[in-house]
Structure 1
């Protein structure tokens, strides 16, 4: 097993949340790409509206993923 944080392993809760967050990131990213490029999706939007909405969803996914690595003050 690899040790992190000066010899301390991540807690079970922290590992679970990392896996759950990574899975959520993949699904939200896939949703954004589906909105942008899947023309058969039942959304009544123009091409530019699809690209804009899909881009916003992808940006949201990236922001959620970046918050996974923010350290809580009480976990030190």
Structure 2
């Protein structure tokens, strides 16, 4: 899991990439939620496809988050 001590030991570049990864995770997660729950979307898309695409974005965000928190040591 996330350890604050190892976060402080990272180089500035690694910390920047970690924060950028968290921002992108948040972006995909919020976009997925918006697609599911926003009823007055400004473009035409069927409700079924909108919900499926929103769920796909949320699953993708979860995969990104899991890879971000548990990086493999190369």
TM-score normalised by the chain length of structure 2: 0.78
Q: What secondary structure sits across from 2:5 in the alignment?
A: coil
Q: Return the structure number with greater helix share.
A: 2
Q: Which moved more, 1:60-69 or 1:50-59?
A: 60-69
Q: Does 1:42 align with 2:42?
A: yes
Counterpart in the other structure of 2:23:
23
**Rg (Cα) greater in structure:** 1
**Separation in 1 of the partners of 2:15 and 2:55?**
29
Question: What stretches of structure 1 of length at least 5 have no aligned partner?
Answer: none
Q: Which has the bigger relative contact order, CA under 8 A and spacing at least 6?
A: 2
**Separation in 2 of the partners of 1:55 and 1:39?**
16
Q: How many residues align?
A: 70
Counterpart in the other structure of 2:13:
13
Alpha-carbon displacement from aligned partner over 1:21-45 (angstroms, at most 9, x marks no partner): 0011111111000111101112322
Counterpart in the other structure of 1:53:
53
Q: What secondary structure sits across from 1:3 in the alignment?
A: helix
Question: What stretches of structure 2 of length at least 5 have no aligned partner?
Answer: none
